[in-house]
Structure 1
Amino acid sequence: MYFLLLFFGVLAGMTTVLFGFGGGFVAVPVLYSVLLATYGPDSVVGHAAMHVAVATSTCMMIFGAGLATLRHHRAGAVPWGQVRPLLGYIAAGAMLGATAALASSGDWVRWAFIVYLGLTILDSLLRPGFIQETRSRIRPLGKRATAGAGVTIGAIAAFLGVGGSVMTVPLMRRRGASMSTATAAANPLSLPMALVGSATYAALAWNAAPLGAWHAGYIDLRACLVLVAGSWLGIRAASRWIGKIPDSLHAKAYIALLCIVLAVMLAV
């Protein structure tokens, strides 16, 4: 189990740096599948598998998004002027999203994850402004749009445990950002969601289910540590490619990875 999680932790770290995923799109389906295979769907852990996967993924992103942010910042790739206004609103939305996830069934969260992925893929393919390369300046959001977008991003990301990339990358792409800039912005925007979401999953679910030792609420601490170790290795390996992937290829690879994750979640 843990060797498998370590391997996918490396993959999560690489996608965090290159696509701003925060690791959630890799960690959630993998951990969900591993928990069901290890404990069985009728066990206590099996019944809570989706909640555990989402909560553990959210906690892992504190490390992954934090380290990836540092790497992008050192490379001069983070558009802080666009990022800072969204941070507080994303934190507020994350508390709402994590609380809503705890009140929902695991199956409902899983299907919400699948539907959202599908809509994002279709939107990226069909609406102009994502795949084609852009070289214009980033157009800032207004105050109301910033508040609305921030709360929505934080709520959905914490509810699904996937970070904000699936919303922030298309948003910034259509505001005129290159893929390199959009993915660099996704990591710092995932940090407030990861911090607030993890605290909420730990505090509100502390006595929700008898999951045993090494659990803080729904967060599986051992799985989280293994995923973090793998994520560190993946981030180190992928950092050399920051800003070096052709824009159109970067955009197409982003969509292709979303399709792979969707297929995995439909199969389990």
Structure 2
Amino acid sequence: MSAPVAPPDAAVVAANVAAALAEDIGPGDATALLLEDAADEAYLLCKEDCVVAGRPWFDACHRALDPAVRIDWRCAEGDRIAKGTVIATLQGHRRALVSAERASLNFLQTLSGTATTTARHVDAVRGTGAAILDTRKTLPGLRVAQKYAVRVGGGSNHRMALYDAVMLKENHIRAFGSVAAAIARARALHPALPLIVEVETLDELRQALDTGCTRVLVDDFDPAMRREAVRIAKGAPYHGRIPLEVSGGVDMASLRAIAEDGVDCISIGGLTKHVHAIDFSLKLGPPPPA
């Protein structure tokens, strides 16, 4: 299991779930109305190896339709689960169990997919000291959820959105004429916000290090340039005070080598953009014998 992660904001979970149930059920579940609304039980089956994430959203879907439903989890958030494992049992009203099924599984499969992909990247750089970061390339409306799943998978969050950090990229720097001028303007207008500066050359790197910022992003540097950037940032007079982030052109084949070059963090849009949903099933009835 990964280190414990702070629970997601309950209001965000509730809003996500309300939108999902409205989308799926609308004025009513026509098929569930065919069923006798008796007490029943169900079990949740994991059908491929994964890191589980999304329990708060799964639970909220079922409790929105049946506040008295009992959900007994056999795993913790962040646990690595083997294919074929029953990970939870539920007891509640039959109609509510089947009506909440798809929305609850959609959250669980998506967020477990994000956590599983993140864990794979974290495993690949283990021992190097490099952190794995996400990006803003998230599914619309599910940014908080996916960034939570990244943390469950052992990764770290980049800025949440455009309001909580300043990130000077190529177009911003071009508009000001230099890295130093762009940084000066950002510090004057937003002195309390983290400041991330993207550089494209070693000269821009030195400008960023000299002027000062929270982190420098070296975007699409080739291996030789990347290693020289690390040498500059960690040597005198900078001594590694400003972390280096790598972004762009990162895949599993190159990830370990990038981390071993000595960079501090690697941001990867694919953690949340290239979602491989994990296969789960919710089945009515008692779980099969262990």
**TM-score when normalising by structure 1:** 0.24
Larger radius of gyration: 2
* Larger RCO of the pair (alpha carbons < 8 Å, separation 6+): 1
In proportion to residue count, which structure has more strand? 2
In proportion to residue count, which structure has more helix? 1
